[in-house]
Structures are given as C-alpha cells and as structure tokens.
Amino acid sequence: MYIFLLIIILVSALIIAYILIGKFPQLTLVETSSSVDDKQEDLKKALLEQRLKRQFIGGFRIVLSTMKPVWDKIVSLLDNLVNSFKKKEEEYRHKLLHADFKEEVDKEQKISKLQTEAQEMVSANDIKEAEARYIDILKLDPKNKEAYMKLAKIYWDQKDYEHAIELYNYLLKIVEDGQIYSNLGAIAEERGNLKEAEDNYLSALKSDDTTGDVYINLAKLYNEQEEMEKALEMTQKALQIEPNNPKYLDFLLQISIMVQDKKLANETWQALVATNPDNRKLEEYKELVDEL
C-alpha cells in the first residue's frame, strides 16, 4: 500500500516538474511590444525565471514533506523485516548447534557402551566379539586412539603380528605416540628382530623420554646382545626417572654383578632392601655381591 502511494507521489512530482520546465522555452520567446531596452527585458526574464524556480523548489519541498511519513514507514518496515530475518537466522543457528551437540553426546555414549562391552568380551576371552566391538567404535570415530590400541593389543596377544603392526603404523599417521613405538619395539623383539626393536625403542624415547620402562626395555635388549655398558646406561637412566622402582633396582643389581662392579652392586643391593625388603632373592644377591 505504502509503495503504491509513493509511486503516485513520485509520478505527480515528475508531471509538475515537466510542466514547469516546459514553460522555460516559452518564456524565452516572450516578446514585448514596448520599446523597453534590452537590459529591462533581461531583468524581467531573470525575475520570472527566479519566481518559477522558487515555485518549483517549493512544490518539490511539498512533495518531499508529503513523502517523508511514507518513507519513514517504509524504512521502519524494512528494519523490522531485517531484524526478523536476523532473529530467524539466530534461532536456526542455535537449533543446528543443539542438534550437533546432541548428536555428539549420543555418539560418545554409544562409544562408551561399546568400550565397556569390548572389555567384558576380552575378560570372557570372547576375542571375536571384542574385536567386533572395537571395529564398531572405529566406524563411529575413525580416529579413536584407544580403540586402535586395544584392537592392536588383541591381535598382538593372538600372535597376529602383521595385523597388530599394521594398526600401530596406521595409528602413528594419526598421532605421534611413544607408547606405540614401544609396542612396535616389543613386537619386533618377540619376533627376534632386535635391530628393528632397538630402532622402535629409540623412536619411543624421541617422542617421550620420560618413561622408564622404555629405557629398561632397551637395557634388556642390550643385555641380550651382551652390550653391557649400554645396558647399564639405560638402566641408570630409568632409575633417574623412578629412583625407587624395585624392578629397575633389581635389574641394575643384576647388571652390576655381571660387570663385576662391587661398589655399585652393594649400593644397589642396599637400595633394593630399603625399597623391597620382601624380595626373596635378596639373600642370593647378597652372596653374589660378597663374592665379587
């Protein structure tokens, strides 16, 4: 309605302007029969033109003043329309966020349920069903580290080394993790690939050098290869991380006896007694230390 009225007013203004402007050429043709000189004629023309211009401007102002309420209404309607669109957009965005959040929560609940079921299946030695549950988790979350680790461990325990290694290597493409390298090292060691095992253990330390077990694994590997100095070094580094670990102290005591370092062996024996007095091998170790 307002737009139609605005169109009528604009058309009217254009008609008025057309009529007034059309008179300008006629005015220039007005001739007077009097003998007034050229200056008076020019003055009359100038005054007439000024009057017509004033009339035109006045008429235009009237049109504008008439249009202003209509224009204000149009502007108000447009503002309301824009605000309405913004409100609807905000409501839609909130709705999408809520839906995404709900979907994510549902997915996490499903994953949690599958993890519980998989653990129960492993405990019941139902390996096939446990494997199926972990595969279902990976379908929901293709980057679920825990599912990959548990599934690879199932394959590892079943001596299915190829599938375990394949999963661990794939997982390394998703996340750099020292534990994965450590597991690959242990698998390689089980298969007799000692150089591959060493490389994986060293890669584990590059990723995370704060895990004492990796140093001990390397120490045992070097001990198997009769590289006693390296074995001793790795064991001492493990003890720097966990000074009172009975397993580490026990192995250091064995190494110190092998390399016949009586002082180190005696100190380690005393530390082991203080840390693990119930160790059944203490008396045997003491005899070996005294014989050095």
Q: Could you tell me the mean pLDDT of each successive run of 10 residues in the chain, 292 residues long?
A: 54 56 47 52 66 62 66 77 80 65 73 88 89 91 91 94 95 91 96 95 93 95 94 95 94 94 92 90 88 84
Q: What share of the chain is helix, strand, coil (3-state, %, to 5)?
A: 85, 0, 15
Residues in the chain: 292
Report the chain's mean pLDDT, rounded to a whole number: 81
Alpha-carbon torsion (261, 267, 270, 271), positive or negative? negative
Let me know: does 237 contact 210? Beta carbons within 8 Å: no
Structure tokens at 125: 């030695």
62-114 pLDDT per residue, tens: 656 666 676 677 778 878 888 887 887 777 776 666 555 566 667 888 888 98
Distance from C-alpha of 136 to C-alpha of 110, rounded to nearest angstrom: 10
Helix/strand/coil for 277 = coil
What is the 8-class DSSP label of residue 259?
T
pLDDT of res. 44:
65
- Sketch out the chain's domains with CATH numbers: 101-165 (1.25.40.10), 215-292 (1.25.40.10)
Nearest Cα to Cα of residue 67 among 115, 110, 11, 18: 11
The Cα–Cα gap between 81 and 78 comes to 5
Q: Which of 237, 233, 281, 225 is nearest to 261 (CA)?
A: 233
Encoding tokens for residue 263? 């002082």
CA atoms within 13 A on the CB side of 170: 16
User: CB burial class (10 A; 0-12, 13-18, 19+) of residue 183?
Assistant: buried
In this prediction, residue 10 carries a pLDDT of 59
* Prediction pTM value: 0.62
User: DSSP assignment of 164-188, as one string?
Assistant: HHHHHHHHHHH---HHHHHHHHHHH
